[in-house]
Structure 1
Amino acid sequence: MNPELLRNLWIELGLPRLIVAPLVIGALFLLAWYVGGKDIDRVAQAALWLYYAIMLLWGTRRAAASLGEEIANRTWDSQRMSALGPWSMAWGKLFGATSYVWYCALICLAVLALEGDQPWQVFLLHPIAGATALAVSLLTVLLQRGRARAGGRSSSLIAQLLGIVAGVLLSPAGPGLLHLGRIEVSFMVDWYGLEARPNEFFLAAAAGFLVWALFGVYRALCADLQKRVWPWAWILFSIYTIAFFAGFPDASARTMGIDGLVVAVPVAAVLYYVAIFADNKDSVRYRWFLLSLKSGDLARAARLMPLWLPSLPLMAGLVLALGLRTDQGDPTRIQPLFHDFLQIADVSVLPATAWAVAAILFALRDLLILLFLNFGKRARNPDLAALIYLAILYWVIPGILGFLGSGWMKAVFLPWPLEGPGIAIGIPLAEVVLMAVLTWRRWRALAPRLASRDLPRAQPHAA
Structure 2
Amino acid sequence: MNPEFLRNLWLEMTLPRLIAAPLVLGAIFLLAWYIGGRDMGEVSHVALWAYYIIMLLWGTRRAAASLGDEISNGTWDSQRMSALGPLSMAWGKLFGATSYVWYCGLICLAVMAVESDQSWQVFLLHPIAGATALAVALLAVLLRRGRARAGGRGSSLIAQGLGIVAGVLLSPAGPGLLDLSHIEVSFMVDWYGLEARPNNFFLAAAAGFLAWALFAVYRALCADLQKPVWPWAWTLFSIYVIAFFAGFTDAAAKAKGIDWLVVAVPLSALLFYVAIFADSKDSVRYRWFLISLKTGDWGRAARLMPLWLPSLPLMAWFVIALGLRTDQTDPALIQPLFYDIFRIADVKILAATAWAIAALLFALRDLLILLFLNFGKRARSPDLAALIYLAILYWVIPGILGFLGHGWIQALFLPWPLEGPLVAIGLPLAEVVVMALLTWRRWRALAPRPMPSDLARAQPQAA
User: TM tier, shorter chain?
Assistant: over 0.9
Paired amino acid for 1:5? F
Q: Map residues 35-50 of structure 1 onto 2, 5 A cutoff.
A: 35-50=35-50
Please state if 1:181 is matched with 2:164: no
1:413-439 superposed Cα distances (whole Å, 9 cap, x missing partner): 111111111111111111100000000
Match of 2:379 in 1: 379
Match of 1:145 in 2: 145
CA contact (8 A) 1:323 1:356 kept: yes
Q: Map residues 175-214 of structure 1 onto 2, 5 A cutoff.
A: 176-214=176-214
Please state if 1:85 is matched with 2:85: yes
Q: Report the number of matched residues.
A: 449
Give the secondary-structure state (helix, strand or coil) at the position aligned to 2:195: strand
Please state if 1:311 is matched with 2:311: yes
Q: Map residues 2-21 of structure 1 onto 2, 5 A cutoff.
A: 2-21=2-21
Paired amino acid for 1:74? G
Q: Map residues 79-118 of structure 1 onto 2, 5 A cutoff.
A: 79-118=79-118
Give the secondary-structure state (helix, strand or coil) at the position aligned to 1:195: strand
1:299-354 superposed Cα distances (whole Å, 9 cap, x missing partner): 100000000000001011101111111111126999xxxxxxxxxxxxxx960111
Distance 1:455 1:54, change over 3 A: same
Paired amino acid for 2:143? L
Please state if 1:229 is matched with 2:229: yes
Give the secondary-structure state (helix, strand or coil) at the position aligned to 1:308: coil
Measure, in 2, the Cα distance between the counterparts of 1:185 and 1:35: 33
Pairwise CA distance, 1:178? 1.3
Match of 1:401 in 2: 401
Give the secondary-structure state (helix, strand or coil) at the position aligned to 1:446: coil
Give the secondary-structure state (helix, strand or coil) at the position aligned to 2:190: strand
Q: Map residues 448-459 of structure 1 onto 2, 5 A cutoff.
A: 448-459=448-459
Give the secondary-structure state (helix, strand or coil) at the position aligned to 2:165: helix
Higher mean C-alpha deviation, range 30-39 or range 431-440:
30-39
Distance 1:181 1:81, change over 3 A: same
CA contact (8 A) 2:234 2:307 kept: yes
Pairwise CA distance, 1:179? 1.4
Measure, in 2, the Cα distance between the counterparts of 1:355 and 1:442: 30
Match of 1:422 in 2: 422
State, as a whole percentage, how many aligned pairs show the same letter.
82
Unaligned runs of 5+ in 2: 335-348
Match of 1:63 in 2: 63
Pairwise CA distance, 1:42? 1.1
Pairwise CA distance, 1:61? 0.4
Give the secondary-structure state (helix, strand or coil) at the position aligned to 2:450: coil
Measure, in 2, the Cα distance between the counterparts of 1:272 and 1:199: 31
1:103-143 superposed Cα distances (whole Å, 9 cap, x missing partner): 00000000111111100000000000000000001011111
CA contact (8 A) 2:63 2:94 kept: yes
Measure, in 2, the Cα distance between the counterparts of 1:175 and 1:275: 28
Please state if 1:75 is matched with 2:75: yes
Give the secondary-structure state (helix, strand or coil) at the position aligned to 2:306: coil
Measure, in 2, the Cα distance between the counterparts of 1:276 and 1:458: 24
Measure, in 2, the Cα distance between the counterparts of 1:426 and 1:320: 17
RMSD: 1.5
TM-score (norm: length of structure 2):
0.95
CA contact (8 A) 2:129 2:171 kept: yes
Pairwise CA distance, 1:461? 4.0
TM-score (norm: length of structure 1):
0.95
Pairwise CA distance, 1:456? 2.5
Distance 1:30 1:22, change over 3 A: same
Measure, in 2, the Cα distance between the counterparts of 1:32 and 1:39: 9
Measure, in 2, the Cα distance between the counterparts of 1:383 and 1:115: 48
Measure, in 2, the Cα distance between the counterparts of 1:179 and 1:404: 45
Paired amino acid for 2:275? A
Pairwise CA distance, 1:260? 1.1
Pairwise CA distance, 1:218? 0.5
Q: Map residues 236-255 of structure 1 onto 2, 5 A cutoff.
A: 236-255=236-255
Measure, in 2, the Cα distance between the counterparts of 1:18 and 1:184: 40
CA contact (8 A) 1:328 1:350 kept: no
Match of 1:326 in 2: 326
Match of 2:410 in 1: 410
Q: Map residues 236-315 of structure 1 onto 2, 5 A cutoff.
A: 236-315=236-315
Measure, in 1, the Cα distance between the counterparts of 2:175 and 2:385: 28
CA contact (8 A) 2:350 2:418 kept: no
Match of 1:432 in 2: 432
Distance 1:459 1:435, change over 3 A: farther
Distance 1:94 1:155, change over 3 A: same
Measure, in 1, the Cα distance between the counterparts of 2:43 and 2:315: 47
Give the secondary-structure state (helix, strand or coil) at the position aligned to 2:445: helix
Pairwise CA distance, 1:37? 2.7
Match of 1:156 in 2: 156
Paired amino acid for 1:136? V
CA contact (8 A) 2:358 2:416 kept: yes
Measure, in 2, the Cα distance between the counterparts of 1:151 and 1:331: 50
Give the secondary-structure state (helix, strand or coil) at the position aligned to 1:37: coil
Pairwise CA distance, 1:173? 3.0
Measure, in 2, the Cα distance between the counterparts of 1:353 and 1:150: 41
